Amino acid sequence: MVNTRARYFFARNTYLFSLLLLAILLSVNYSLQDNLFELRILNNSMRTLLPLIVLAVGQSVVIIGGGIDLSVGTMVSMLVAVLVKLIDAESSSTDIVLAVLAACGVGALAGTLNGVMVAVLRLQPIVTTYATSFIFSGVALVLLPRPGGQIPTELRRFYAGTPNGIPLAFYVIGILILVWMLLRSTRYAQFLFATGSNDKAAYTTGVPVKIIRLTTYIWAGVFAGLAASALTFSTGSGQANIGDNMTLDSIVAVVLGGTRLSGGKGGIAGAIIGVMILRVIRNVIFFADVPTWSQTLVNALIIIAALAGPGLVGLIRRVVNK
């Protein structure tokens, strides 16, 4: 009984190991950088992390459903371009809300394109979304050939705000987790996890596998819209390749957070923690005076370790059990 409960707890909360890792890394980071938790520094870090966090949340949904989306990065670039077109220094708050909705809407359309190809036409998700990523980056260039754009000063101030002494990003994260917890107790979540874990079994049980899979890509698109909004508010302007590098980071964050890359297991809390781990590792490298040229190398090693991690854990467990 106790064993069953413990197993259930660990299997449901896949992010626990990542949380521990984050805590360790944070203490290392703190020892190198003692102002890490000062409000201004913390708010700065969280503000720049928020776009990737939102994007990784969308990516988690796709990965849990058994797919992968390699187009989210350029999708962000495209949607930033959309936002920059719709917002200028004089925009009212209504305009801004409408612009964010438009970005999410265009993101949903782009996600539908991916979803139809993967779920309905049954094309291979890696190749398909890699291909569509070039469409999105092309559209971004057409919309925004030169870097530019402006946003109202109040908006930038709002985004950089710390209501009640807590960085705005934490409120967003709180809302995301709350929504996820509600979603987790719906039938949609059961279908999502079933589809990612064993799509044939799900189908014979009466789960609408195609529709579920399609919706995961739409979610990724909507979250790309939110990520693009956060990125625009943070930087105050845009350029046509601003999000391109975020794809790989979003996948690595999901994996670092304990979500299984082949689907059916994980959650968004892991993705959020994963983004933070990624950032803290990079912080540590920076403050440990590692030469800049080796930072790219270290980044690549983190990615490989994150992808190989689950396999390594299994291997270690087997060796230890012997």
Partner 1 sequence: MALTLFANHIVKRYGGVIAVRDGSLSITSGEVVTLVGANGSGKSTLSKVITGVAAPNEGQLLLDGKEVHFASPQAAKKLGITAVYQELSLVPDMTVAENIWLSHEPLRAGLGVRGGEIRRRTRDLLALFEGTVSPRLQPDTFVNTLPPDERQIVEILKAISNQPRLVIFDEATASLDSAQVDRLFDLIGEWKRDGMAIVLITHRMEEIFRVADRVTVMRNGQTVGTVDIGATSEGEIVQMMIEGASSPGDIRMTPVEVSAPVRLEVSGLHAGRVRGVDLTLRDGELLGLGGLQGQGQTDLLLALFGALPYTGTVTLAGRRIRFRHPRDAMRSEVAFVPGDRGSEGLMLSRSILENFLLPSWRRFGLIHDVQAARGAASSAAEDLSLVYSTLDAPASSLSGGNAQKVVIGKWLLREPKLLLLNDPTKGVDVGAKGEFYALLKQLTQQGTAILFYSSDDDELLGLCNRVLVLQDGLVRDELSGDRLTRSNLVAASLGTGHGKH
Chain contacts with partner 1 (rule: CB under 8 A): 1, 3-5, 7-8, 11, 185-187, 189-191, 193-194, 196-198, 200-208, 264-265, 322
Q: Is the dihedral of CA 313, 10, 275, 124 positive or negative?
A: positive
State residue 66 phi and psi, 5-degree precision: 95, 10
Smaller CB separation from partner 1, 33 or 190: 190
Smaller CB separation from partner 1, 191 or 223: 191
302 within 8 A of 284, measured Cβ to Cβ: no
Smaller CB separation from partner 1, 194 or 228: 194
Smaller CB separation from partner 1, 146 or 187: 187
Smaller CB separation from partner 1, 1 or 320: 1
State in angstroms the smallest separation of the CB of 3 from partner 1: 8
> What letter does residue 263 receive in the DSSP assignment?
S
State in angstroms the smallest separation of the CB of 118 from partner 1: 20
Q: Determine the Cα–Cα distance for residues 46 and 275; give it in Å rounded to an integer.
A: 10
DSSP 206-240: T--HHHHHHHHHHHHHHHHHHHHHHHHHHHSSB-T
The helix/strand/coil state of 259 is coil
Q: Is the dihedral of CA 89, 90, 94, 95 positive or negative?
A: negative
Smaller CB separation from partner 1, 193 or 219: 193
Q: What is the 3-state secondary structure (H, E, C) of 27-54?
A: HHHHHHCCCCCCHHHHHHHHHHHHHHHH
State in angstroms the smallest separation of the CB of 120 from partner 1: 15
Q: Which of 137, 155, 179, 178 is nearest to 47 (CA)?
A: 155
State in angstroms the smallest separation of the CB of 312 from partner 1: 20
State in angstroms the smallest separation of the CB of 190 from partner 1: 6
State in angstroms the smallest separation of the CB of 267 from partner 1: 12
